[in-house]
Amino acid sequence: MQTKKIIVCDKIHQKGLDLLAQESDIAFLDASDMDKDKLLEVVGDYDVAITRSSTDVDSRFLEHAKKIKAIVRAGVGVDNVDIEGCSKKGIIVMNVPTANTIAAVELTMAHMLAAARSFPNANNHLKLERVWKREKWYGIELKDKKLGIIGFGNIGSRVAKRALAFEMDIVTYDPYIDPAKALDMGVAYTTDFNDILACDFITIHTPKTKETIDMIGSDEIARMKDGVRLINCARGGLYNEDALYDGLKSGKVAYAGIDVFVKEPATDNKLLDLENISVTPHLGANTLESQEKIATQAVEQAISAARGTSYPNALNLPIKESELPAFVKPYLELAQKIGYLAAQINRGYIKSFKVTAEGDVAEYVDSLRTFALVGALKESMGEKINYVNAEFVAKEQGVDLQSAKVPNESEYKNKIEVTLTTDKESLHIGGTVFSDTIEKIVNINNIKLDFKPKGKMLFFSNEDKRGVIAQITTMLSTHDINIADFRLGRDGKGSALAVVLVDEEITREVMQELSAIPECNWVSYAVI
């Protein structure tokens, strides 16, 4: 197996480095302490780079990144990444958008409580000035106050859940969600932004886009309640800082809790001169737990990208993931994994390739086919294949490409199936996603199974007779191959299929011995 090289440009949690060290086909360099000029000298030898805010992926970086095919930004923001420049060079950019969700949610609640009770001010008055003056620090209660939440995604929805526990009355504005997401939680949904401006507390949880920059300015603040309290732990510039300053200065805005600023570090920002504001230096992701999650998720994405199996949370694919419903994204990743898996199991010249989908995800079947095809062609063509040229290359090779929506007749709400036909045989692999993110293979050649497409996998098709499993496990044990998981399916017609997840590589010698078992129909080995 060819070794892939990953460079870690900035500091990440040790758990991420430990994950890299565990992969036998991955070589990595921790360059987080390296001088940035020196980093540019070595980065060209690597396939994937993991960065944070300390490394600018700019034109100079890209000029030196001769072999880089993917950049993983370990965090949410990609302000320091030239995405357009990466796209021109064929470099896929990924981020880690959900690892710091709980940290950001809890910081929002901390600022909300500070805005209600002025805790930071009272603390400083007593601790720094040694003044005991209880009557100066009257606050308000969250109970029965109306909270307006702008943006109801991973963070906004979880803020709502916690605010409900404080018995707040909540309304959300987010034109990009199904209103049922809010209504099912007991949160009011509005399409009229004035309903948000009428709230006692307002918190914003949107990305920074042309639509959301200065979303709250002087006009919006003028239409708010007197004494409104504003929170921003999302991105700097969503509230116009001049308008916010004027609102706080006049008392129209009673209090604000701000974690992010237009220009950071914000040590000279005029908002810091005001008493009725609590500020933190962009601490949204600053918990030990979130740093560990960010590191491990970034590393997992980097490993997948290095191997070419998938590109989770890619920001510059020809299919704009940001414009797709959230539930579709894991199916795109699953489709690519299924395609890659199918090509490893059913090796040979691809004659036809078909993707079918049932349920709501069927509306995106053509996008699913693109991702699945990239996975399938990667096995034979490696780095030549990407999301732009995959279908063109396949058609040029005479591959019959098909996609179809099919009636939802299975037991799953959504399901996708890839049929890969080579000059040898056809292989059908079906999969679905549970709990929004758990990807599972649920059938191979109409045999029901249940396993995650991840790791080193042995596939053994056999006549359904006694003693076969014992022969497989004994043979693996003889070669010091540890079994991590064992899944078995039967078609009821005399055939069975075992999926064996193992910890060690399976050599050609072992494969030959397995294929010599009398009851064996076929055996394959795949790694995802």
- Measured distance CA(425)–CA(271) in Å, rounded: 68
Which candidate, 348, 343, 366, 490, places its Cα nearest to that of 416?
366
pLDDT band at 79 (very low <50, low <70, confident <90, very high): confident
Which of these is catalytic: 282, 307, 369, 428?
282
pLDDT greater than 70 at residue 388? no
User: With 70 as the cut, is the pLDDT of residue 381 above it?
Assistant: no
Strand partners, 202: 148, 230
- Report how far Cα 299 is from the mean position of its chain's Cα atoms: 12
pLDDT tens track for 397-425: 889 999 999 999 889 999 999 999 998 89
Q: Structural domains in the chain?
A: 1-98+287-308 (3.40.50.720), 101-279 (3.40.50.720)
CA distance 523 to 515: 6
Residues sharing a CB contact under 8 Å with residue 29, sequence separation 6 or more, in sequence order: 5, 6, 7, 8, 42, 46
Name the one residue in this structure whose structure tokens are 């990609």. 78
Q: Are 365 and 403 in contact (CB under 8 A)?
A: yes
- Cα 163 to Cα 385: distance, rounded to the nearest angstrom: 47
**What is the rounded CA–CA span in Å between residue 463 and residue 444?**
16
Q: Compute the distance between CA of residue 464 and CA of residue 466 in angstroms, rounded to an integer.
A: 7
Count CB neighbours of 477 within 10 A: 11
pLDDT tens per residue across span 95-150? 898 889 999 999 999 999 999 999 999 999 999 999 999 998 999 999 999 999 99
SS3 283: coil
Angstrom distance (rounded) from CA 92 to CA 315: 7
More confident residue, 67 or 398: 67
Tell me how far CA of residue 484 lies from CA of 427, 439, 442, 477, in angstroms.
25, 18, 19, 12
Cα–Cα distance for residue pair 106/102, rounded to 1 Å: 6
More confident residue, 382 or 79: 79
Longest dimension (CA), the chain: 87
Alpha helix positions (H), 388-516: 390-396, 468-478, 508-515
Residue 12 has pLDDT above 90, yes or no: yes
Helix (H), strand (E) at residue 332: helix 329-345
Q: pTM for the complete prediction?
A: 0.63
User: Is the separation of the CB atoms in 43 and 21 below 8 Å?
Assistant: no
Express as a percent the part of the chain with pLDDT over 90: 78
264 given a catalytic annotation? yes
Work out whether strand 400-405 and strand 350-358 pair parallel, antiparallel, or are unpaired. parallel
Q: Which contiguous run of DSSP H or E holds residue 95?
A: strand 92-95
Locate 414 and state its tokens.
Answer: 């959504």
**125 classed as catalytic:** no
What distance in Å separates the CA atoms of residue 426 and residue 421, rounded to the nearest whole number? 4
310: left (phi over 0), alpha (psi -120 to 50) or beta: beta
Catalytic residue among 63, 141, 167, 264: 264
Q: Out of 111, 229, 235, 307, which one is annotated catalytic?
A: 235
Per-residue model confidence (pLDDT) at position 384: 57
Strand order in the sheet with 400-405: 400-405, 350-358, 415-422, 426-434, 438-444, 447-451
List, for residues 339-366, the tens digit of each pLDDT value: 999 999 998 888 999 999 999 999 999 9
64 is known as an active-site residue: no
Distance CA 285, CA 375 (A): 33
**Residue 313 confidence (pLDDT) above 70:** yes
Kindly report which listed range (194-203, 209-218, 418-427, 505-514) carries the lowest average pLDDT score: 209-218
Name the pairing type of β-strands 415-422 and 426-434: antiparallel
CA distance between the termini of the chain: 12
Residue type, 158: R
